[in-house]
Chain A
Amino acid sequence: MKRAMNLMAAAILTASSSMVFAQTDLSLWYHGAGNDKEKSVLTGIINDFNGSQDDWKVNLAEFPQESYNESVVAAALSGKLPDILDVDGPLMPNWAWSKYLTPLEITDEDVKDFLPGTIGRYDGKIYSVGLWDAAVALFARKSVLEKHELRIPTLDKPWSLDEFNTAINTLKMDKDFEYPLDLGLAWKGEWYAYAFGPLLQSWGGDLMDVEKPTAEGVLNGDEAMAFGEWWQNLFTKKLVPGTSQDGADRETGFLDGKYAMQWNGNWAALAALEKFGDDLLFLPAPDMGKGPKIGAASWQFGVSGSSKNQKGANDFIRFAMQDKYLANFSNATGLIPATAAAAKMTENYKEGGKLSVFYALTDKQATKRAVTPAYNVATLEFEKALSDIANGADVADTLDAATDAINKDLEKNKNYK
């Protein structure tokens, strides 16, 4: 009997000691399946976090980016969301409104050094934090601009609308190039709102007024109409390749000398630098009247609304926000680190680094896309409208139709209140 009691006591002790040291599993979904560089950095952060404390163990599940959102929505519908998930910045408000995400236990103080575009705020609360951002710039060649005696714009003094128009019309005359500018219309989807939404904002328009909320007078107001006319002019005058642009031309057209300039992101910068070296320029967005603007907000981490381990999930995100990890991500991917301190630790974004201009561009020109749950619909309508206008549709009718569609969605969802 005594022996049996001893065995039982030993068993209880063993069980309780294993309970003390067992880490609670946290599931983390990430959009970067197939990207070894990102995986290696993220796995490093996860291993460091798991080894740094005894309470939580993060388990990574990767999903391909192209279909990540569909996977998350399907999981949300079936109540199977993970504890931590990443979200594309502009979609965050919709996921927050849909309760896929819950506010983070991260304060303004925690993110005071972060680039504005990396912080996902909605309804006054922080729902997501990004470890990096991306930026677009006007890729150009110094020798080409000098040959045509065009002023090289700077961050402090970007091209005005007139200067920009003059530049592309002048370059149009140069028979060495098929087009003076490539906007990349071979790329579909979010590229439109990310790359061209800020141009509309620079004209004084926007996808919608998120406060009212309505697209009326904003997407079809006078400024937006003027933008639409200017946009259509680019295609009717053959200043840029149209919507039927070959994907291969988008990839190699600027490098091959088909296009004099290209509107592209920092992810394409290293290949261009390799080709043109010191001759390559990354020019800031032109000022169309209301200040020069480029898109902001890339992928960010948030905590799911259904997570039963919110403390652990928040602990992980806070842990991942350390400068050394931001720098690691940037070094691995070429994307812009979220803080200045991390930028200094990177090869490309430290002072004098090959891509440091992109950090400055983000810091100075980055503008978030409309922060509203209605963004999911607005971005699709905006893409359709720009595509139609590029193909010759009536500007006023098209923007009115897009405005109506966005407002209808707002009405259907009771303004997402």
Chain B
Amino acid sequence: MNTDKRSTVMRYLLLTWVALLFVFPVVFMVVSSLKPDMQLLQDSASFRAFLPVGDISLDNYSNAWDRVPIGRFVINSVVVTAITVILSLFLCSMAAFSFVFLEFRGKAVLLSVILATLIVPFETIAIPLLMVVNNLPWIGFDGFQMGWLDSYQVQIIPWVADGLTIFLFIQYFKDLPRELVEAARVDGASWFQVFYKIIVPLAGPCFATAAILKFLVMYNQYLWPLMTTQSEDYRPVMVGLQYFFQLDIAWGEIMAYLSIITVPVLAFYLSMQRAFIASIASTGVKG
């Protein structure tokens, strides 16, 4: 074997090893979801943990469905996540556009304040935020009410704008040729027309990246919905995971539940994968 071939083999071996490292947790999850608890625990200490061997069945899936209203929770999560992602892309991209292309008083200070929010952990503002949303009015299908607890809006609105997404758009917009914007303005385009006819079409990969990052944050929400939802009507999937942690923990059902709730994430990621990779390659942003 010559040196080139040897190095190619080594490279593929290394890549295969790294790929397996990332794939094994998913394989473990899916395989374990097919095993009874006792077998799952016994297999976990050996390579059998990654093999669909032994007493294999779909019982964990049917038991998980019986234990938890999975459909309801997945719908809640998808509704909250989808609306938040859409609103977030709209608002954050417009905010970033303003910071990059418009001139207004206090811009630098305002941008600094927004970027400073990046270093504030959510846990530190959770309680004050809870107090705020609990005292906000809302007019919905049930009429006027005070307080947003136990609703979709309480899980959506506080998350529609955030420093990271705005920063992501700002970085991307800065690299776009300003001449295009100036030419459009000379031709009489309004700022909003410049935004949606020039900037948005050019920023597809950035939108995809922001969408995926926001999707993951929202779909994995735990603490906030835990504090603000009081009924299963609005409870999302991650809070639902806690249903399985009883005195006698049903590990197989947990793996089945995780397998089910991972499907929307995988579907969304795969649908945006090409744009996501293009964006990472162009901006150097890592999730």
Contact = CB atoms under 8 A, between A and B. Distances in A.
Contacts of B232: 33, 62
B226 A67 contact: yes
A63 B248 CA distance: 17
A352 interface: no
B271 interface: no
Contacts of A61: 230-231
Interface string A17-38: 0000000000001001111100
B196 interface: no
A153 interface: no
A34 B45 contact: no
A251 B41 contact: yes
Contacts of B230: 29, 61, 63, 71, 75, 80
A251 B41 CA distance: 8
B227 A74 contact: yes
Contacts of B37: 251
A80 B134 contact: yes
Interface in B34-65: 37-38, 41-42, 44-45
Nearest to B231: A61
Interface string B204-243: 0000000000000000000100111011100000011011
Contacts of B226: 67, 70-71, 74
A79 interface: yes
B11 to A, nearest CB: 35
Interface string A41-79: 000000000000000000001111111001100110111
Given A34-B67, A61-B230, A77 B131 contact: yes
B158 to A, nearest CB: 14
A63 B235 CA distance: 10
**What is the predominant secondary structure among interface residues of chain B facing chain A?**
helix
A383 B223 CA distance: 24
Contacts of A66: 242, 245
A265 B247 CA distance: 10
Interface in B89-123: none
A252 interface: yes
B68 interface: yes
A64 B242 contact: yes
Interface residue tally of chain B, by bracket? 20 to 34
A222 interface: no
A401 to B, nearest CB: 25
A42 to B, nearest CB: 14
B244 interface: yes
A36 B66 CA distance: 8
Point out which of B231, B242, B244, B245 has the most chain A C-beta atoms below 10 A from its C-beta.
Answer: B242
A78 B149 contact: yes
B184 interface: no
A62 B244 CA distance: 13
Contact of B242 (A65, A74, A268): A65
Contacts of B246: 32, 34-35, 65
A267 B147 contact: no
A1 interface: no
B130 A64 contact: no
A33 B131 CA distance: 26
B68 A71 contact: no
A147 B203 CA distance: 76
Contacts of A267: 247-248
Most buried by A among B42, B226, B244, B246: B246
B227 A71 contact: yes
Most buried by B among A70, A80, A265: A80
Considering the complex of A and B, which 5 residue pairs feature the smallest CB-CB distances, nearest first? A34-B243, A64-B242, A74-B227, A78-B134, A248-B41
28 contacts: A29-B230, A33-B232, A33-B242, A34-B67, A34-B243, A61-B230, A63-B230, A64-B245, A65-B242, A65-B245, A66-B242, A71-B227, A71-B230, A74-B226, A74-B227, A75-B149, A77-B127, A77-B131, A78-B147, A79-B134, A80-B147, A80-B149, A248-B42, A251-B37, A251-B41, A251-B249, A252-B38, A268-B248
Interface of A: 29, 32-36, 61-67, 70-71, 74-75, 77-80, 246, 248, 251-252, 256, 265, 267-268
Given A78-B130, A268-B248, 14 more contacts: A33-B242, A34-B243, A61-B231, A64-B245, A67-B239, A71-B226, A78-B131, A78-B147, A80-B134, A248-B44, A251-B37, A251-B249, A252-B38, A267-B247
